[in-house]
Amino acid sequence: MHAASTATTRADASSSTLDPKFLAPGDAFFNSAASAALSARQRKQRARSTERRRKAQFKKLLWFKQPFPDNYTDEKTFLDHLQRNPRLQPYEFWSLMTDSTVIVQHVASVVIFCCTFVAIYTERVSPVSVVSWASLGTFLAWVWWDYWMAQEEAKSAKKVAHETQKNEGEPNSHAAGFEGAEEMEGASVGKEQPTPGHSPYPPNVDPTLSWSPRNQQRLATARSAVLIFVALLGLSPILKSLTRSTTSDSIWAMSTWLLFMNVAFFDYGSGSNAYLPASISTNSALMASTVLASRLPSTTHVFCLTLFSIEVFGLFPLFRRQLRAKSRNGHLALTVALVTTASGAVFATLTGGGRGAWIAGIILGSTSTFLCMGVCSWWLIGLQKYKNEIHGPWDPARPIIRMRWD
């Protein structure tokens, strides 16, 4: 009996050690030791991998294998190349004041046109005198502009001649290689041949004529002026009856919105090389002048106002841009003249007064305009502190497109 009980106890002990559901008293020590050894081994592996990563230099490249995971972030070097507002150009007060004169000039031109229409509509001034003085000013401005263009052409011709003399004085292999081609071209043609789709001559210039290119452009300008004059004479009766069935309230509202569009869409940033002003701005202004001219009493009034609008909104911006590029003092003087004229005309139109209202308008209008320019400039300078543009090596590269190939 005792032997049987001993065998049964041994069988139960052996079954308890073999059965995973039952744990022996020694299993607790064995499991804790194994887990400690496993954690020590993991710590060693992590330390080795960390040491390898420290030795390796992390690069933000995916086309070669690195001992780092794909979502790894190097906290030490991540913000090293961070740039805040790298292209920021701090504004200066007087430079902003000078740049704002472009807007002031155009707004003053629109105000002068509106006051002129009111004066013609109320028969306070003669439309013939208005268009005569405006045409004289346009002619003088064109003479001035033509003088500037002649100076630029002379400078460019001197530059080309200087470069030619320099190339002849320093012959090289390229010049020697081109001599044969130039001799063949001169012998076969005798003059410059433009490539298809490109002409070396300015528009309205015929290289076969004996006149100089500048004289040909002057003749083309005179032809365009005569064509506009004759076309307006023929279209004046049609323009007068264009909006006969439209009420005057609709005409005033439509012209107001069109002039607002002219001010809003005008190209204030274009340089002196711009050939014509922005099409939306110019078209809206000419449309406004057309609907306003339809409310005048005679075809003479319609012709004068339409021609005056073409000179103010089509030709005058070209002269202003060229004057700004050539003479800063002249640009500022023109700004002062336009502001004083517009201010006096507004007060004289609103009050119906004479010289006293004109002088009061000049003083108040000029002062308020200068204050508005200063306040807007300081406001824009104050807004610059809120600019927060962040750049870094993770940003996509911006391609540099060359618009002109030399």
pLDDT at 157 > cutoff 80: no
**Would residue 300 count as lying in a domain?**
yes
Q: Determine how many CB atoms are found less than 10 A away from the CB of residue 155.
A: 10
What pLDDT was estimated at residue 260?
A: 94
Q: pLDDT tens digit string along 94-153?
A: 888 988 999 999 999 999 999 999 999 998 899 999 999 999 999 998 888 888 888 887
**Would residue 21 count as lying in a domain?**
no
Residue 110 sits in which domain range?
A: 98-150+215-391
**Would residue 386 count as lying in a domain?**
yes
Query: How many domains does the chain fold into?
Result: 1
**Would residue 274 count as lying in a domain?**
yes
Mean pLDDT of 317-327: 89
* pTM higher than 0.95: no
**Would residue 178 count as lying in a domain?**
no
**Would residue 299 count as lying in a domain?**
yes
If you average pLDDT over each of 62-76, 146-160, 199-213, 267-281, which comes out highest? 146-160
Terminal CA-CA length for the chain: 115
**Would residue 182 count as lying in a domain?**
no
Structure tokens at 85: 């507002």
**Would residue 35 count as lying in a domain?**
no
At 391, which helix (H) or strand (E)?
A: strand 390-391
At 14, which helix (H) or strand (E)?
A: helix 2-18
What pLDDT was estimated at residue 401?
A: 73
Q: pLDDT tens digit string along 4-27?
A: 444 444 444 444 444 544 445 544
Structure tokens at 117: 């229409």
Structure tokens at 405: 């190939």
Please, what sign has the CA dihedral across residues 345, 347, 350, 352?
negative
